[in-house]
Amino acid sequence: MTQTQPSSRLLSLDFMRGFIMVLLALESAGLYEHLDELTKNSFVSPLIGQFFHHPWNGLRFWDLIQPGFMFIAGTAMAYSLDKQFKNGVSWSTAFRKVLKRSWWLFFWGVLDYAVEKDGSLSFELWDVLTQLSFTTLVAFLVFNWNFRNQVLFCIFLLLLTEILYRFTNIPGFDQPFTDQHNFGNYMDLVLMNQINKGGWVAINCIPTAVHTIAGAMAGRLLIQVAGGRWQVAEKKMQSATRNLEPATRNLQPATRNLEPATRNLALWGIISLVAGFALDLAGVTPIIKRIATSSFTLASLGWCLLGLAFVYWWIDVLGHKKYLKLFTIVGMNSLFIYVFFEIVGSRWFNGYVASVTNGLMSMASLPEGFMMITTSLCIFALEWGMCYFLYKKKIFFRA
């Protein structure tokens, strides 16, 4: 198939964002839990297990969803800022817009877990929107830096994470990679006076800022390619990798025949992936998603870069644009659908739909497993229908 010139609108960006949101919506609808219950001890059980977070040291498919969410937010921000700057918007005006966006992300993230099941109020900072409010602001502040300095800043954030976990030595919280006894747990006590039983920590926003910064860098690269300026972008990327180890530089011939943006994204994806798994396998820093270790951040970033490289090449370069609306329609209203299924869905909508569907299907004496899966799919179909309605009315929610 002949390659096409990428359009000014990145359809692969809408697809990737929509793909992530569809997966999250299906989780919120309970589909994966129902499938797990139905397939326990079967040959497909390990596959279904990939749709749940790893309990601690390791990496599963579902551990890549939140990094992908934050990465693609950075890519979208690059396109938004590029459009603003081309229209003459000043840096200070753009900064105020980002501050407003970060505030609303923080608000919705806190509101998501503000009410406990017993009706009491709670202040928690573990939601992805709360984390994204911080990483978005950081990514904006370094957005106009050159590629080399942005890479160095990302390395600084990862080194800072290592230092905080390894060398703070707070009594009771001096075990860097032990659940409930690490520096992240201590900071949760300081910030929220509680520790997450699942091991999640609020200061994940420090290392995962790398995901959003890298997403913005990837967006800048794709914008330069679309504008016919890929030679400049390629020189910057080559300059940023000049001082890397020879073994890393030798990865470049494997991607030489790819389109420039795809090649650079794939190259950086391989570098990040190798670095992350090397730290884990060498016993230096284990891959732990729940505290976003540097090895996890690098490994998950590698998969994000490779994922974007593939969908960009497949959709925007080769022109495979059919059958994407299931995802792109959701991707265009990602904030709305996330807030809806996290707040309205989990507290009322899911239960209401389940009462209707299960009540109707029970009249036909259908198997319980079939009823649970059908209910989950009905919940998702109704949520997708809301996004389709907004899409047809050209209503797009932005923070």
Q: How far apart are CA 184 and CA 205, in angstroms?
A: 11
The pLDDT of residue 240 is 53
Domain-located, residue 310: yes
Contact 158, 207 (CB under 8 A): yes
Domain-located, residue 398: no
Domain-located, residue 6: no
Domain-located, residue 1: no
HSE at residue 108, side-chain half, CA atoms within 13 A, is 21
pLDDT exceeding 70 applies to what percent of the chain? 89
The pLDDT of residue 231 is 46
CA distances from 205 to 39, 80, 211, 368 (A): 35, 22, 10, 41
Domain-located, residue 2: no
The pLDDT of residue 114 is 86
The structural domain count of the chain equals: 1
- Residues of the chain where predicted confidence (pLDDT) is lower than 50: 1-7, 229-233, 247-248, 254-256
The pLDDT of residue 2 is 39
pTM: 0.88
Domain-located, residue 262: yes
Query: How far apart are the two ends of the chain, measured CA to CA in Å?
Result: 39
Contact 392, 384 (CB under 8 A): no
Residues 44-97: pLDDT tens digits?
999 999 999 999 999 999 999 999 999 999 999 999 999 999 999 999 999 999
Domain that holds residue 216: 11-392
Domain-located, residue 178: yes
The pLDDT of residue 6 is 41
